[in-house]
Protein backbone atom coordinates (compact mmCIF):
# COMPACT_ATOMS: atom_id res chain seq x y z
CA UNK A 1 0.00 0.00 0.00
CA UNK A 2 1.32 3.45 -0.92
CA UNK A 3 0.92 6.53 1.21
CA UNK A 4 0.25 9.92 -0.36
CA UNK A 5 3.12 12.42 -0.37
CA UNK A 6 0.77 15.38 -0.52
CA UNK A 7 -2.97 15.91 -0.34
CA UNK A 8 -4.44 18.89 -2.18
CA UNK A 9 -7.87 20.18 -1.22
CA UNK A 10 -9.47 22.68 -3.55
CA UNK A 11 -12.04 25.18 -2.29
CA UNK A 12 -11.74 24.31 1.39
CA UNK A 13 -12.93 27.28 3.41
CA UNK A 14 -12.21 25.61 6.75
CA UNK A 15 -8.46 25.01 6.30
CA UNK A 16 -7.86 26.62 9.70
CA UNK A 17 -9.85 23.79 11.27
CA UNK A 18 -7.68 21.23 9.46
CA UNK A 19 -4.57 22.98 10.73
CA UNK A 20 -5.91 23.09 14.29
CA UNK A 21 -6.90 19.43 14.32
CA UNK A 22 -3.93 17.92 12.47
CA UNK A 23 -1.23 20.63 12.63
CA UNK A 24 0.90 18.68 15.11
CA UNK A 25 1.14 15.77 12.66
CA UNK A 26 1.24 17.38 9.20
CA UNK A 27 2.12 20.65 7.48
CA UNK A 28 -1.00 22.48 6.34
CA UNK A 29 -0.47 25.40 3.98
CA UNK A 30 -3.14 27.42 2.19
CA UNK A 31 -2.05 28.86 -1.16
CA UNK A 32 -3.71 30.52 -4.13
CA UNK A 33 -5.50 33.06 -1.93
CA UNK A 34 -6.68 30.31 0.43
CA UNK A 35 -8.39 28.34 -2.34
CA UNK A 36 -5.89 25.47 -2.38
CA UNK A 37 -4.95 23.69 0.85
CA UNK A 38 -1.79 21.55 0.76
CA UNK A 39 -1.37 18.85 3.38
CA UNK A 40 1.92 16.96 3.62
CA UNK A 41 4.20 15.14 6.05
CA UNK A 42 5.44 17.31 8.90
CA UNK A 43 9.04 17.08 7.71
CA UNK A 44 8.27 17.83 4.03
CA UNK A 45 9.12 21.27 2.66
CA UNK A 46 10.68 22.85 -0.39
CA UNK A 47 13.59 24.20 1.62
CA UNK A 48 14.42 20.79 3.10
CA UNK A 49 14.36 19.20 -0.35
CA UNK A 50 16.58 21.91 -1.83
CA UNK A 51 18.96 21.75 1.14
CA UNK A 52 19.24 17.97 0.70
CA UNK A 53 20.18 18.41 -2.98
CA UNK A 54 22.62 21.22 -2.19
CA UNK A 55 24.33 19.11 0.46
CA UNK A 56 24.62 16.26 -2.01
CA UNK A 57 26.29 18.44 -4.67
CA UNK A 58 28.32 20.55 -2.25
CA UNK A 59 26.71 23.95 -2.83
CA UNK A 60 25.95 26.38 -0.01
CA UNK A 61 22.41 27.75 0.18
CA UNK A 62 23.64 31.35 0.21
CA UNK A 63 24.87 30.73 -3.37
CA UNK A 64 21.40 29.78 -4.64
CA UNK A 65 18.71 31.82 -6.39
CA UNK A 66 15.14 30.67 -5.76
CA UNK A 67 11.79 31.82 -7.13
CA UNK A 68 8.39 31.87 -5.50
CA UNK A 69 4.93 33.32 -5.38
CA UNK A 70 3.05 31.93 -2.38
CA UNK A 71 3.21 30.87 1.28
CA UNK A 72 4.75 27.48 0.51
CA UNK A 73 7.88 29.32 -0.70
CA UNK A 74 8.58 31.30 2.50
CA UNK A 75 10.98 28.73 3.98
CA UNK A 76 12.80 28.52 0.66
CA UNK A 77 13.20 32.31 0.64
CA UNK A 78 14.68 32.32 4.14
CA UNK A 79 17.29 29.65 3.36
CA UNK A 80 18.55 30.95 0.04
CA UNK A 81 21.04 33.65 -0.77
CA UNK A 82 19.00 35.35 -3.49
CA UNK A 83 15.22 34.93 -3.25
CA UNK A 84 13.25 36.30 -6.21
CA UNK A 85 9.53 36.96 -5.88
CA UNK A 86 7.24 36.87 -8.87
CA UNK A 87 5.24 40.03 -9.58
CA UNK A 88 2.08 38.07 -8.74
CA UNK A 89 3.56 36.88 -5.40
CA UNK A 90 2.04 37.44 -2.00
CA UNK A 91 3.27 40.53 -0.15
CA UNK A 92 5.04 38.38 2.48
CA UNK A 93 7.39 37.03 -0.21
CA UNK A 94 7.92 40.38 -1.86
CA UNK A 95 8.92 41.84 1.52
CA UNK A 96 11.74 39.32 2.00
CA UNK A 97 12.85 39.06 -1.65
CA UNK A 98 16.16 40.34 -2.93
CA UNK A 99 14.39 41.13 -6.21
CA UNK A 100 10.87 41.13 -7.66
CA UNK A 101 10.62 39.96 -11.28
CA UNK A 102 7.80 39.83 -13.82
CA UNK A 103 4.79 37.61 -13.20
CA UNK A 104 4.48 33.90 -14.00
CA UNK A 105 2.50 34.83 -17.10
CA UNK A 106 5.28 37.13 -18.37
CA UNK A 107 8.28 34.77 -18.09
CA UNK A 108 9.47 36.25 -14.81
CA UNK A 109 11.91 33.41 -14.09
CA UNK A 110 13.57 33.82 -17.49
CA UNK A 111 13.71 37.62 -17.07
CA UNK A 112 15.50 37.28 -13.71
CA UNK A 113 17.93 34.64 -14.96
CA UNK A 114 18.81 36.79 -17.96
CA UNK A 115 19.36 39.79 -15.70
CA UNK A 116 21.39 38.14 -12.93
CA UNK A 117 22.97 34.98 -14.35
CA UNK A 118 23.61 35.28 -18.08
Going by pLDDT thresholds of 50, 70 and 90, the confidence category of residue 15 is: low
Tell me the pLDDT tens digit for each residue of 24-77: 888 888 888 878 888 888 888 889 999 999 999 999 999 999 999 998 899 999
| Domains of the chain listed by start with CATH number | 6-41 (no CATH), 46-116 (3.40.50.1000)
Q: Which helix (H) or strand (E) holds 15?
A: helix 15-22
Residue 87: the pLDDT is 97
> CA-to-CA distance for 79 and 82, rounded, in angstroms?
9
- 16: DSSP letter: H
The DSSP line for 46-111 is HHHHHHHHHHHHT--GGG-EEEE-SGGGHHHHHHSSEEEE-TTS-HHHHHH-SEE---GGGTHHHH
Amino acid sequence: MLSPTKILVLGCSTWGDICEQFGDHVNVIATDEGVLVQIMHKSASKEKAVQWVLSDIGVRSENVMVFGDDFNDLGLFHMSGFPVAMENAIIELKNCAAHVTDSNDHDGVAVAIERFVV
